Amino acid sequence: MARLLKPFEYFEPRTVEEAVQLLSKYGHQAKVLAGGTDLLISMKKRKITPQYVVYIKSIPELDYIHYSQQAGLKIGALATHTAIADSAIIKDKFELLASACGKVGTPQVRNMGTIGGNICEGGPSQDSVPSLLVLEAKLKLISLHGERIVPIDEFFIAPFKTALQEAELLTEIQIPTPPPRSAGCYKWFTKITTVDESLAGVAVLMLLDSTDGICRDLKIGLCSVAPTPIRARRAEQVLRDKKIDNSLIERAARVAVEETSPRSRADYRKRMTGVLVREAISETWQKIRQLHLRERA
């Protein structure tokens, strides 16, 4: 049954400054609205009933994708999943993020939903987050008191609870350029429903030494298998500074499973984590080997 939204006062600021002033004035009674693909559903279900809604999509300075080798990738909080999935530079240099954003929901949801909203929703199953974790993204948060930069692995505190403080706005996601001869991928497994929520999502970023085949660095990010998105740091250690082979990949997958703590469908999610970690590492390993072969040819 369709439910009406509880009445609220609506604001449509045109600048970040105006937005943070409104958020500061109304405090916990205000809520930021971006694409609305999460927030409006929560408001309809009356899980959240803000008295003031601050719609930020009319702030043009928050919608951009910029890249330079030195400064890395800078994504405005309002960039949509479609814009990120279709961006030539992101597909080329940050392919795991492009595929994660391309996986979100349906075309309508990707056209409306923003990366900022995906991160700030703070749920365990946000698809962009594992890739952002392994890419070591940093978040620029702005309030009336100034700006602060928070590494994304310090942002998620508990299910739907983040380090975002009252009256703070996420404005930018900053991602360093990955080292040359690294590669990554995002793998997921979904529950087939209207929202196709991920039952498990795995992002991997690997740096391989072409001279001796040693894995110089490996990062593994997981979503939907713990109360918050996490890095599987013990599994990463299994391969770091080792010559990769299939049995080591198997071991890393087993250790990653031990690091998960799913709240529902636990056995299934754990098993899927093992499968996806194994697949993601193997696929990334193949990608880098092909990259090396192409460079030598």
Ligand X SMILES: Cc1cc2nc3c(=O)[nH]c(=O)nc-3n(C[C@H](O)[C@H](O)[C@H](O)COP(=O)(O)OP(=O)(O)OC[C@H]3O[C@@H](n4cnc5c(N)ncnc54)[C@H](O)[C@@H]3O)c2cc1C
Applying CB under 6 A, among 26, 75, 85, 113 the residue interacting with ligand X is: 113
273 binding ligand X? (CB under 6 A): no
38 binding ligand X? (CB under 6 A): yes
CB of 36 to ligand X, least distance (A): 5
Which range binds ligand X by CB under 6 A, 5-13, 120-128, 254-262, 268-276?
120-128
CB of 105 to ligand X, least distance (A): 3
Applying CB under 6 A, among 87, 99, 114, 228 the residue interacting with ligand X is: 114
53 binding ligand X? (CB under 6 A): no
Q: 250-282 burial, b for 16+ CB within 10 Å, e for fewer?
A: bebbebbbebbebeeeeeebbebbbebbbbbbb
Q: Residue 221, exposed/middle/buried by CB under 10 A (0-12, 13-18, 19+)?
A: buried
Q: Closer to ligand X by CB, 52 or 268: give it.
A: 52
195 binding ligand X? (CB under 6 A): yes
- φ/ψ of 74, rounded to 5, equals -125, 120
Footprint on residues 156-175 left by ligand X (CB under 6 A): 164, 169-170
Query: Which two three-digit tokens encode residue 286?
Result: 């193949």
37 binding ligand X? (CB under 6 A): yes
Q: Closer to ligand X by CB, 123 or 215: give it.
A: 123
- Report strand pairing: 230-231 vs 242-243: unpaired
Q: What is the DSSP string of 75-88?
A: EETT-BHHHHHH-H
E strand segments, 168-228: 169-175, 182-190, 198-208, 214-223
126 binding ligand X? (CB under 6 A): yes
Q: Return the axis-axis angle of helices 246-258 and 266-296, rounded to nearest 10°.
A: 140
Applying CB under 6 A, among 18, 52, 95, 109 the residue interacting with ligand X is: 109
Interface residues with ligand X (CB under 6 A)? 31-39, 41, 77, 104-106, 109, 112-114, 116-118, 120-121, 126-127, 164, 169-170, 194-196
